[in-house]
């Protein structure tokens, strides 16, 4: 497995090894001991799978008091995956990083707890699978506007399909400090 650092400490791009032959390929999408040997010794407790159409943008979402670390992978199609540091006491607060995850490159993005996460679909459809190290906690949700001008995220689409909820998310500067997570890990 190859691990690539991003511009944000803790957010990593992982390239698991795929074994290709004339039948297709096989790969381990997660191996606790192997990932732990690279410092990713998380106890994942929830797996999620989403299916989305082209131009759908999901996010940017986070949990306030029960932050979730996520290991994200597009198992079908292609997505532009984004992580934004929303930890109010972080030196990289308000900074973002992104990567294209698709069924061809098999890349995964590791997003630590305390980061807002979202993605937009670049292909006709996409299935995104991700593991979380904390359970979803209703009422602990935080949301950030995908098009926040202060963040200036370089999304590859300009007219995304959004949920009703995501259309009215606030800009980062308008979120009270008590509605943002603290750093939980370096």
Tokens representing 32? 């606790």
Question: What's residue 184's pLDDT?
Answer: 63
Of 24, 130, 112, the C-alpha closest to 74 is 130
Of 155, 58, 76, 162, the C-alpha closest to 123 is 76
Q: How confident is the model at residue 186 (pLDDT cuts 50, 70, 90)?
A: very low
| Helix (H), strand (E), coil (C) string for 40-78 | CCCCCCEEEEEEEECCEEEEEEEECCCCCCEEEEEEECE
Tokens representing 36? 């732990």
- φ and ψ at 22, to 5 degrees? -65, -10
Question: Do the beta carbons of residue 182 and residue 88 sit within 8 Å?
Answer: yes
> Looking at 32-36, 80-84, 123-127, which range is the least confident one?
32-36
Q: How confident is the model at residue 160 (pLDDT cuts 50, 70, 90)?
A: very high
Burial, 3: exposed, middle or buried (Cβ in 10 Å; 0-12, 13-18, 19+)? middle
Tokens representing 39? 């410092």
**Whole-structure pTM value:** 0.94
Of the two residues 21 and 93, the one the predictor is more confident about is: 93
Cβ density class 111-132: b for 16+ within 10 Å, e for less: bbbbbbbbbbbbeeebbbbbbb
Tokens representing 1? 């497995």
Q: Mind telling me the catalytic residues? A: 61, 130
Write down all domains in the chain, each with its CATH number in brackets.
2-179 (2.60.120.10)
Tokens representing 123? 């292909």
Which residues contact residue 52 at a Cβ distance below 8 angstroms, ignoring those fewer than 6 apart?
Answer: 58, 121, 125, 126, 128
pLDDT tens digits along 76-123: 999 999 999 999 999 999 999 999 999 999 999 999 999 999 999 999
């Amino acid at each position: 497995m190859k691990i690539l650092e991003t511009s944000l400490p803790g957010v990593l791009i992982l390239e698991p090894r795929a074994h290709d032959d004339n039948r297709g390929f096989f790969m381990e999408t997660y191996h606790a001991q192997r990932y732990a040997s690279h410092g990713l010794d998380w106890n994942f407790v929830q797996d999620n799978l989403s299916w989305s159409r082209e131009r759908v943008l999901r996010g940017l979402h986070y949990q306030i008091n029960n932050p979730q670390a996520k290991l994200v992978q597009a198992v079908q199609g292609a997505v532009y995956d984004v992580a934004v540091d929303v930890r109010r006491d972080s030196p990289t607060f308000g900074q973002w990083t992104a990567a294209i995850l698709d069924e061809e490159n098999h890349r995964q993005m590791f997003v630590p707890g305390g980061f807002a996460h979202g993605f937009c679909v670049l292909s006709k459809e996409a299935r995104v699978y991700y593991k979380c190290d904390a359970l979803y906690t209703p009422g602990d949700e935080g949301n950030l506007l995908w098009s926040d001008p202060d963040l200036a995220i370089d999304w590859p689409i300009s007219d995304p399909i959004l949920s009703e909820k995501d259309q009215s998310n606030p800009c980062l500067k308008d979120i009270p400090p008590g509605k943002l997570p603290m750093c939980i890990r370096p």
